[in-house]
Amino acid sequence: MALSLALSLALSLALSLALSLALSLALSLALSLALSLALSLALSLVRIEQMASSQRNASASTWRGHPSLLVNRLFHADLSRSISRKVLNFGAGQ
């Protein structure tokens, strides 16, 4: 009887320890993965914002330095709007 009780206690303790270790490992892995993904996403967003800011600054300085480029850009934007209007009007007429 004492041997059975000791074996039962040892088995219960071993299972408890194994379950605790498995849960701890799974939780640690999940937390590590979540933090890694969050950090990666944050760094990607920072890089995207830096690239967009750099491009905005480059565009602004290009237009300041070369007014003909600004006029050219505005002309193409106007031409693009004109073509879009014609296409929409053509589609609405049918």
Q: Residues 24-48: pLDDT tens digits?
A: 999 999 999 999 999 999 999 998 8
| The pair of three-digit structure tokens given for residue 3, joined into one six-digit string | 């041997």
Q: Tell me what pLDDT residue 30 has.
A: 95
Strands of the chain (E only): list them: none
- Going from the C-alpha of 16 to that of each of 8, 12, 26, 30, 61, the distances in angstroms are 12, 6, 15, 21, 67
Residue located via tokens 């073509």: 83
If you average pLDDT over residues 20-26, what whole number do you get?
96
Through-space distance between the first and last CA atoms of the chain, rounded to whole angstroms: 95
**Predicted model pTM:** 0.47
> Reduced to 3 states, what is the DSSP secondary structure of residue 1?
coil
